[in-house]
Amino acid sequence: MMKTIEQESTQYIQEADQHYYLPVFKRYPITITHGKGFKVWDTEKRSYIDVLAGIAVNSVGHCHPKVVKAIKKQAEKLMHISNLLTSEPQVRLAQKLVELSGLDRAFFGNSGAEAVEGAFKLARKYAHKHGRGGTIISMEGCFHGRTLATAAAGTPKYQKGFEPIPEGFVQAAFNDIDSVKALVDDQTAAIIVEPVQWEGGIRTAQLEFLQALRELCDAQNIVLIFDEIQCGIARTGKMFAWQRFGVKPDIITLAKALGGGVPIGATMVIQKIADALALGDHGTTFGGNPLTCAAALATLEVIEEEKLEEKALHTGARLMEYACQKAAKEPAVAGVDGMGLMVGIALNRPARPVVEHMLSKGVLASAVGANTIRFVPPLNIEWKALKEAVDVVFESLKELPA
């Protein structure tokens, strides 16, 4: 029988991981045992300032008391019943998200990829009912998931070796409306865009580009989908990224931060597109069960009660300003981009070695693309800790060979 983490060394746990778990992750060389707020601890009792937050998931911090209490209370009462029955937490969460988002309907799944798959199905069903084809236009440099359909909409490197890739997906250049227009025809069902891209490095959509997409979709009766899986739920300084731009989509996909650490995805949709689906057209076994919905409701309540939208807006602006000031004096930095508490420091060298060095200095971050260090910390992180994390980036650049 495998011993507990407390009984075994970090080396043993990591060797067991390599032996038993499918080796598809390039893991960092630490094993985390627990977390609280914006900090985590490893098996060697070392603490880390966490600006990764489970990849933008732990938006209210690790083990927030209100979220933990909600999970415990719901787990003792009812965890799962299937979607053949109604539960109060699911209805309350759907109502809450509709009121916050300005869209009309919610559907819950277990992940971001499922939320995007649901969006594709909604868009295609609506398009077919209006005499259009089913082609989805996505943006170069995007990421929408790792299922076959979401990979087909995404970066080609995630498609290699998994052929045949589903058809009906084409890509336009990000922030280039002429590139999008060149692909639109009577087969186009939807355009999907991340208001803030993150897979190849943090890149923010231009307001004019999103406005032009909205105008194009309105003129052609094309569905506009915003993938807010990483940038949604207050991370940009508003509950939904579309509210920062003032450009309202027809469908929003959510996940990551929605459950405060519990896996849940959501597809939000306006009524006229929701009307395209009939009974049985879509479904899920686990999606939106009472336990995950209770956790999500508690997470949203924390965000509202602690005014984390405002904090993300102001702390994010402070982070951008400070990082840009430091970057101006560091030739290894190519640029800084982002919105709210979703910021990328782009280097002119590989980012992974820098991130690994940061671990030795007590900061947990991540590398995206080849050369960007991503900051997506808990929204309630203290400025002192966030400033220290930025300082560690620049200290690490000086300490490592170019």
List active site positions: 143, 227, 256
Strand partners, 307: none
Helix boundaries (H) for 21-87: 53-56, 65-75
CA 9 and chain centroid, separation? 32
Residue 142: what residue type?
Answer: C
Question: Rounded to a whole number, what is the largest CA-CA distance in the chain?
Answer: 64
Stated as kind and residue range, the H or E segment containing 9 is none
Strand partners, 385: none
Helix boundaries (H) for 345-402: 352-360, 383-399
Q: What is the Cα–Cα distance from 270 to 255, expressed in whole angstroms?
A: 18
- Cβ pair 362, 44 in contact under 8 A: no
Q: What is the Cα–Cα distance from 124 to 115, expressed in whole angstroms?
A: 14
Closest among 338, 368, 341, 336 to 355, alpha carbons compared: 368
**Which residues have C-beta within 8 Å of that of residue 169, sequence separation ≥ 6?**
135, 136, 138, 149, 152, 153
Paired tokens of 21: 């778990």
- Cβ pair 264, 252 in contact under 8 A: no
- Cβ pair 114, 80 in contact under 8 A: no
3-state secondary structure 293-349: HHHHHHHHHHHHHCCHHHHHHHHHHHHHHHHHHHHCCCCCEEEEEEECCEEEEEECC
- Cβ pair 284, 114 in contact under 8 A: yes
For residue 235, which phi and psi values (nearest 5 degrees)?
-65, -35
Closest among 28, 55, 35 to 377, alpha carbons compared: 55
